[in-house]
């Protein structure tokens, strides 16, 4: 019998293993790691578990198994869901022990990207990150997360999405990387 989880809105929803796997792969993790983490979550799943608890577990495992995917997931949350995960002294984190507070998640603005201007600003931020020593692997993971944010945006018109994808691909080419090839047309 499928177990119900509690969404951030309080709504109950059936746990969907494939949805979790897709989210982890979209963050840039290899499919085998996504499947492994989803199996782990499923084995620990209890009726009424919150999506926030699942998210914390997934992020902890990604940090260990696929650090670039962990980084991309938190970056994706910021740019598409308008929230930041605070940790490592920015809020309180107690990894293990008698008291587990987990990672604090705060909403920082409206959800989703809505214009190519926002994407351009994020690309400038990534360019600065490169100058300040952020690894190319991390930048690559962030670019993929940004692409997914653009393609999944419900607030961005098709023309803005196309312009944004072109800007992302131009940025990739500037770094000497191949542009993304979309499997489906932008909608």
Burial 25-51 (b: 16+ CB within 10 A, else e): bbbbbeeebbbbbbeebeeebeeebeb
The predicted structure's pLDDT at residue 133: 78
Mean pLDDT is lowest, of 29-38, 53-62, 89-98, for 89-98
Work out the number of other CB atoms within 10 angstroms of the CB of residue 97.
6
Rounded to whole angstroms, how far apart are CA atoms 116 and 49?
Answer: 37
The predicted structure's pLDDT at residue 90: 38
The predicted structure's pLDDT at residue 18: 95
Q: Which residue has the higher pLDDT, 128 or 146?
A: 146
- For residue 182, pLDDT over 90 is answered with yes
Rounded to whole angstroms, how far apart are CA atoms 8 and 100?
Answer: 19
The predicted structure's pLDDT at residue 89: 35
The predicted structure's pLDDT at residue 55: 86
Rounded to whole angstroms, how far apart are CA atoms 106 and 99?
Answer: 21
What are the pLDDT digits (tens) for 71-100?
888 887 777 666 555 444 333 233 333 333
- For residue 70, pLDDT over 90 is answered with no
Would you give the distance in Å from CA 52 to the centre of its chain?
14
What are the pLDDT digits (tens) for 105-142?
444 455 678 899 989 988 988 888 888 777 888 889 88
Question: Domain-by-domain residue ranges, the chain?
Answer: 4-107, 116-174
Would you give the distance in Å from CA 167 to the centre of its chain?
20
* Total-model pTM: 0.58
Q: How confident is the model at residue 162 (pLDDT cuts 50, 70, 90)?
A: very high
Task: Tell me what the mean pLDDT of segment 42-68 comes to.
Answer: 88
């Amino acid at each position: 019998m499928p177990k119900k989880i509690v969404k951030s809105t309080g709504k109950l929803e059936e746990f969907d293993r494939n949805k979790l796997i897709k989210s982890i792969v979209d963050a840039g993790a290899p499919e085998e790691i996504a499947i492994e983490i989803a199996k782990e979550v499923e084995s620990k799943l209890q009726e009424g578990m919150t999506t926030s608890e699942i998210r914390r577990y997934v992020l902890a495992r990604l940090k260990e198994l696929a650090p670039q995917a962990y980084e991309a997931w938190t970056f994706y949350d910021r740019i598409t869901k308008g929230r930041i995960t605070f940790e490592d002294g920015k809020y309180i984190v107690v990894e293990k022990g008698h008291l587990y507070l987990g990672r604090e998640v705060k909403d920082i603005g409206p959800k989703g990207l809505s214009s190519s201007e926002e994407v351009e600003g994020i690309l400038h931020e990534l360019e600065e990150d490169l100058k300040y020593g952020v690894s190319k692997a991390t930048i690559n993971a962030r670019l993929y997360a940004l692409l997914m944010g653009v393609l999944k945006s419900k607030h961005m018109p098709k023309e803005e999405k196309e312009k944004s994808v072109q800007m992302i691909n131009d940025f990739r080419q500037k770094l000497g990387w191949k542009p993304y090839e979309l499997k489906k047309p932008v909608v």
